[in-house]
A and B are shown apart, each in its own frame.
Chain A
Amino acid sequence: MRWIDLAKIGFVLAMVLSIVPVLVWLERKVSAFIQGRIGPNRTAVFGMRMAGLFQPLADAVKFIFKEDVVPLRVNRFLYTLAPTLVFVPPAIAFTVIPFGNKWGNEPLIVADVPIGILLLMSVLSISVYGLAFGGWASNNKFSLLGGLRSSAQMISYELTLGLTIITAVMMAGSVNPIEIVEKQAREGWNIVGGGNLWLAPAGIVATLLFYVASLAENNRLPFDLPECDAELVGGYHTEYSSMKFAMFFMGEYVAMVTMSALMVTLWLGGWHFPGLTRLHEGPYHWTEALVSHMVFMVKMGLVLFLAIWIRWTLPRYRYDQLMDLGWKRLVPLALATLVVVGVVGVLTHV
């Protein structure tokens, strides 16, 4: 292991973990704006309020000092393991996302592995266990049902997600995220067909499908049944408190960050920005590295903002509607898009 790999790991970890509190703050502020409120603005450090930016810090302190209630007769091992299983996989999955172009000869990605996107998919699929174990180990029927509900939801929407990822991979002709982004930088973003205008409609449809599926994967509204405490007594995390609950909570936000980064990488051209030719033609000084990273972060921020916007705008789906949407509409549509991209791509020689 070279020191630069360690530095990149540290950077990505710090980046992902520091986006989470900002995201929580943004969620509160945007929800307040949409509902005509002011939102958190009372927390202050040395009298500085910073528009409530310290609120997540106060939340974290509160979470740490809350009593950690463990219900009677739970399976202690699985009960403790479950929040970790939700939190860790999305953080690991970020390793195969290129968060910038290059710094000298060093690509800005933690792990440049040949299977790339497939590794991300398989690592993300592990986090289902966190939901299932969390629900089962809580020794509560409602939690068990919530866990089963959420894991079934994740597995169902993973199909749509996988099919749309295959579509992007077909457009780019590679599963390596660096090559996917470079192809988009050379020829055009995948959302508009990756340089082939015949594929533009399919690209837009597939991007939307991917986004909807990623919302469902992360249990975000309009698919956030675990938050449904009035009708369904919550979900897999009903019996959790203190930092264990915070791990579930943070896991959801880390998954949102990873999914948004994947969306930017697969469909929105990664670090590429039209006009800024030096980003992909070099020279790759630290300035270009920084600007390409900023472009990536801004795109990711916009995608994240869209998720927050949707959350405070749309009502929630009922469970049978959610399954109907997943299996009867999204999966066939994603399959059709895949076929269209394949056939049109061959006919027009991608």
Chain B
Amino acid sequence: MTEIINDVLGDPVFAICALISVMGALTVVSRRNPIHGALGLMLAFLAFAVLFIRLNATFLAAMHVLVYTGAILVLFLFVIMLLNLSREELGREYGVATKGAIALLVAVMCGLLLFAIGKDPDLARPASPIVDRVLYPGSAQELRVAEDGGAGSKPWGGVDHVGTALFGRWIFPFELVSVLIIVAILGAVVLAKRKLPPES
């Protein structure tokens, strides 16, 4: 535990960004005004991007801001602004009992996650090798090569490494995901274009 505290305090950028992301996330779940929630989510996303950069995942950081902050969250905002719900329409607050039950559930889930991470010696190691393990899920030797920066002087997690991993070893799951997304888009189109029965 003291080790973790020392790690956090020894890395002010991480400490500040972690604080911002947690506070942003708390804003999202605690505010009744959806615009404030969206702002909090935006702050959290930007802090995540900095954390990704700290983990050497520069490509992921750029894509995260570009896709989530720059596009998806803007669509959330569109919906919020177009509906422009008043205080009454937003509905009643949950009771203390419900809030407590939700908090307990979330705490248990987080605890389970932390427990699982603590059990796995590889995941419990410092951050950047985790990124490595995702990108180079091969043998320990491959992992060592990656740790030495074997693929040239460029830092891991850059565009070239992610590209090689996505279009090399992981090409099949990658293409499956694209099929999945196409199906989702087609589904949305079918739902939006469906002819409603008259007088409904």
User: Which residues of chain A have a CB within 8 Å of any CB of chain B?
Assistant: 75, 78, 113-115, 118-119, 121-123, 125-126, 128-129, 132, 135-136, 144, 147-148, 151-152, 155, 158, 162, 175
Q: A114-B155, A115-B158, A125-B69 are in contact. Are A132 and B81 (CB under 8 A)?
A: yes
Report the nearest B residue to A144, measured CB to CB. B81
Min CB distance B132 to A, Å, is 16
Report the nearest A residue to B33, measured CB to CB. A75
**B144-171, CB under 8 A of A: which get 1 and which 0?**
0000000000110011000000000000
Cα-based distance from A126 to B66 in the complex (angstroms): 8
Cα-based distance from A93 to B199 in the complex (angstroms): 53
Does B15 make an interface contact (CB < 8 A)?
Answer: no
Q: Find chain A residues with CB under 8 A from B78 CB.
A: 132, 148, 151-152
Does B71 make an interface contact (CB < 8 A)?
Answer: yes
Min CB distance B106 to A, Å, is 29
Asked whether B35 lies within 8 Å of A115 as measured between CB atoms, the reply is no
Report the nearest B residue to A123, measured CB to CB. B65
Min CB distance A274 to B, Å, is 30
Cα-based distance from A128 to B38 in the complex (angstroms): 14
**Quick check: which of B19-27, B56-64, B87-95, B178-186 contacts chain A, the rest being far away?**
B56-64
Asked whether B81 lies within 8 Å of A122 as measured between CB atoms, the reply is no
Min CB distance B31 to A, Å, is 13
Min CB distance B167 to A, Å, is 12
Q: A114-B58, A118-B62, A148-B82 are in contact. Are A125 and B77 (CB under 8 A)?
A: no
Asked whether B66 lies within 8 Å of A155 as measured between CB atoms, the reply is no
Q: Find chain A residues with CB under 8 A from B65 CB.
A: 122-123, 125-126
What are the nearest 7 A-B pairs in CB distance? A125-B70, A122-B65, A118-B62, A122-B66, A115-B58, A122-B62, A114-B158
Does B74 make an interface contact (CB < 8 A)?
Answer: yes
Min CB distance B49 to A, Å, is 8
Q: Find chain B residues with CB under 8 A from A158 CB.
A: 70-71
Cα-based distance from A186 to B91 in the complex (angstroms): 64
Asked whether B81 lies within 8 Å of A136 as measured between CB atoms, the reply is yes
Decide if the interface of chain A is mainly helix, strand, loop or mixed. helix
Cα-based distance from A275 to B154 in the complex (angstroms): 33
Can you list 23 A-B contacts with CB-CB less than 8 angstroms, sorted by A residue number?
A75-B35, A78-B35, A78-B39, A115-B59, A115-B62, A115-B159, A121-B62, A122-B64, A123-B65, A125-B66, A125-B69, A126-B65, A126-B69, A128-B74, A129-B74, A132-B78, A136-B35, A144-B81, A148-B82, A151-B74, A152-B78, A155-B71, A162-B66
Asked whether B70 lies within 8 Å of A122 as measured between CB atoms, the reply is yes
Report the nearest B residue to A120, measured CB to CB. B62
> Number of residues in B with C-beta < 8 Å to the partner?
26
Specify which of A118, A129, A135, A162 is in contact with B42 (CB 8 Å cutoff): A129
Cα-based distance from A118 to B59 in the complex (angstroms): 8
**How many Cβ-Cβ contacts under 8 Å join chain A to chain B?**
72
Asked whether A118 lies within 8 Å of B63 as measured between CB atoms, the reply is yes
Residues from 72 to 107 in B contacting A, C-beta threshold 8 Å: 74-75, 77-78, 81-82, 84
Q: Find chain B residues with CB under 8 A from A119 CB.
A: 62
Min CB distance A62 to B, Å, is 32
Q: Find chain B residues with CB under 8 A from A121 CB.
A: 62, 66
Cα-based distance from A78 to B155 in the complex (angstroms): 38
Cα-based distance from A196 to B70 in the complex (angstroms): 34
Q: Find chain A residues with CB under 8 A from B66 CB.
A: 118, 121-122, 125, 162
Min CB distance A162 to B, Å, is 8
Q: For the A-B complex with A121-B62, A126-B70, A151-B77 known, give 15 more contacts whose Cβ atoms are closer than 8 Å.
A: A113-B58, A115-B61, A118-B59, A118-B63, A118-B66, A123-B65, A126-B69, A128-B74, A129-B42, A132-B74, A132-B81, A135-B81, A136-B77, A155-B70, A175-B159
Q: Find chain B residues with CB under 8 A from A147 CB.
A: 81
Cα-based distance from A299 to B74 in the complex (angstroms): 34
Cα-based distance from A152 to B78 in the complex (angstroms): 9
Min CB distance A124 to B, Å, is 8
Q: Find chain B residues with CB under 8 A from A75 CB.
A: 35
Q: Find chain B residues with CB under 8 A from A122 CB.
A: 49, 61-66, 69-70
Min CB distance A116 to B, Å, is 9
Cα-based distance from A75 to B80 in the complex (angstroms): 15
Cα-based distance from A121 to B64 in the complex (angstroms): 11
Min CB distance A72 to B, Å, is 17
Residues from 34 to 53 in B contacting A, C-beta threshold 8 Å: 35, 39, 42, 49
Specify which of B64, B69, B71, B81 is in contact with A148 (CB 8 Å cutoff): B81
Q: Find chain A residues with CB under 8 A from B64 CB.
A: 122
Q: A78-B35, A114-B159, A118-B63 are in contact. Are A132 and B69 (CB under 8 A)?
A: no
Q: Find chain A residues with CB under 8 A from B39 CB.
A: 78
Q: Find chain B residues with CB under 8 A from A162 CB.
A: 66
Cα-based distance from A263 to B69 in the complex (angstroms): 24
